[in-house]
Amino acid sequence: MLIRTLMILVASLALFACRGGTSTSPPVHLVLDMDFQPKLKAQSASAFDGWADGRAMRLPVTDSQSRVSVVARGSLPDPILMPDPNKAGKNVDGTWLKNPLPLTNEVLERGRERFDINCSVCHGYSGQGGNGAQAHGMVGRRWPVVIPNFHVVEGKDNRVANLTDGEIFEVLSSPVGKNTMPSYAARITVIDRWAIIHYVRALQTLGKQ
């Protein structure tokens, strides 16, 4: 009986003893998680010797900022593959680019691989796109999205089939994509976009499959 009373007393003390109480000492931290770690906080000072200005937040390294604010690996502005990053697909004089990437077997093979991975789901392995049961891409078969054909068809509007290299490159470099087509600006490197365009030309030359 005594033990039981004592247990109830201890339990109620544990429950109610600290209610409303304040303390200036830090709480007991049994599980540290990642609460304590060496780090610099934003907008604060740093005592690190290597940084003469004493800022915790560092400025970009001199000359590392280009007009393209985020540069993915392998996508450094290249004056040949993309002469004007603000007008992808165009020369600095405003004319449409011709594919600047030399056409080799490796490039074509790379273009085929990238096309099959990134484009075929909508445009089909053949590049014929289309909608409904006859569609070449599975998206066109499943959803009512109008997907253009890269091949010239007698009596049809062949605008897309007749796009220049630079115009296709511009579509692939657009940060917003083209209507229902998603953006590939961050998904496909500049050099791979040109490889894909070589492969689209090969599809067009060899005809539909």
Indicate the residue among 76 and 121 with the shorter CB distance to ligand HEC: 121
Q: To 10 degrees, the CA torsion angle through 28, 31, 35, 36?
A: 80
In the complex, least distance from residue 194 CB atom to ligand HEC, rounded to whole angstroms: 11
Does 107 interact with ligand HEC (rule: CB under 6 A)? no
Determine if 123 is a binding residue for ligand HEC (CB under 6 A).
yes
Residue 183 DSSP label: P
The H-or-E segment that residue 13 falls in is: helix 2-16
Query: How many angstroms separate the CA atoms of 198 and 75, rounded?
Result: 19
* Owner of token pair 């934003």: 42
Candidate segments 30-38, 48-56, 95-103, 172-180, binder of ligand HEC by CB under 6 A:
172-180
Query: Residue 153 interacts with ligand HEC (CB under 6 A)?
Result: no
Taking a C-beta distance cutoff of 8 angstroms, is the pair 151, 208 a contact? yes
Chosen residue from 171, 185, 190, 195 binding ligand HEC by CB under 6 A: 171
* Residue 189 phi, psi (nearest 5): -65, 160
Residues that bind ligand HEC (CB under 6 A): 118-119, 121-123, 139, 145-148, 160, 163, 168, 171-172, 178-182, 184, 188, 196, 200
